[in-house]
Structure 1
Amino acid sequence: MTDLAFRAATEADIEAIVALVTSAYRGESSRAGWTTEADLLDGARIDPEVLRADIARDGSRVVLAERDGVLACAHVAVDGDAGYFGMFSVVPGLQGGGIGKQVLAECERIVRDDWRLPAMRMTVIDVRDELIAFYQRRGYRRTGITKPFPYGDARFGEPKRGDLRFEVLEKTL
């Protein structure tokens, strides 16, 4: 397999990133991969203006993985004493082929080596057992800390059930 090239996203990438993230998590296209949230949520997965702010602000990087086009993305940011990892998306038909592992490793490298932070944190919808298991196999641990799902904020989707919440996962780097 050809190595991936990594780069920081720019404003010119916003439309492509929104399309990638949406395809990985929402609607029928997301069912080609294993990270779909289509049974949990409809609507938007990422707001273009939130993405624009993430690209522009200090201590924040939207990472793109490319090989003949964008195949994956993730957002890393300084969040107090740790890095924050989110918006992780791989083209649905390519999920399970190792691209995501490479993207996660690159994001951990940025947090550890570039920003000199000792840990990475993320939030995962706590009913996503298969996804949580993926992260656990990569050294993340369940902290037991939960955060409410932003019901009523369409920027994060339209919930199909009323019991959603986020759980914080963490890994020492």
Structure 2
Amino acid sequence: MTDFKIRKFADQDKTAVVNLLNQAYREESSSWTTEYGLVNGARINEQQLDSFTGDIRNHFYVMEQACLNGATVSIIGCIGITELHQAVEIGTFCVKPNRQNSGLGKVLLEFAERTVLNEFDAINEFQMYVLDVRAELIEYYARRGYVQTGIAEEYPVHADVGVPLQSIMLLQLKKTVEK
């Protein structure tokens, strides 16, 4: 039997989270969210994660699985929330590839949205960016109320988050906050 918990990121999670994000985004796997074959290079490193989590506008959470006997705890998902002016950006979001398609991503996304509703004032929309070549992810978010804004940005090679192997744009998606 297993139990799941979502909690705030702690420094001791750093290595596990970097490994999880790189595994989910960049390794060849059966993961439907992988960018393998689309982008070369690491998705994130420990210094980038330190920078993200060290910014007071960012709120980062991990989902962990614990065996009921208390023996093993492992991080199986993560999600970040960045406060903007009247919006929040959701990103740095993944579920361990062998745990995908089990509803955990939906649980994490709903947790992030609920957290925003409960803890942030004056927020009127959720935003996120998705690779334009990832139609299945765009459809996934559309089923959860996110719509394309028509805003597209170049892939941020300068941010050291990998190098595209083809022409890739980031599409902005948004969802109106309903309070």
* Residue in 2 that maps onto 1:84: 89
Q: Secondary structure at the match of 1:121?
A: strand
1:43 partnered with 2:66: no
1-structure distance, mates of 2:10, 2:51: 11
CA distance in 2 between counterparts of 1:70 and 1:150 reads 27
Question: How many angstroms apart in 1 are the aligned matches of 2:3 and 2:173?
Answer: 28
Query: Which of these residues, 22, 32, 35, is aligned with residue 34 of structure 1?
Result: 32
- Once the 2 structures are TM-superposed, how far is the Cα of residue 4 of structure 1 from its aligned partner? 2.6
Identical amino acids, percent of aligned pairs: 36
Q: Which TM-score applies when normalising by structure 2?
A: 0.89
Structure 2: tracts of 5 or more residues without a match: 67-73
Structure number with larger C-alpha Rg: 2
Instruction: Give the unaligned 5+ runs of structure 1.
Output: none
Runs of 4+ in structure 1 off by over 2 angstroms are: 1-4
Q: What's the offset of the Cα at 1:148?
A: 1.1
Alignment partner, residue 134 of structure 1: 140
- The counterpart of 1:170, out of the listed 148, 171, 174, is 174
Determine if the alignment matches structure 1 residue 110 to structure 2 residue 115: yes
Matching residue within 143, 146, 150 for 2:149: 143
Q: Which amino acid aligns with 2:15?
A: E
TM-score, normalised with respect to structure 1: 0.92
Q: Matched residue pairs, number?
A: 169
- Residue number among 137, 146, 159 corresponding to 2:164 in the alignment: 159
Aligned to 2:4: 4
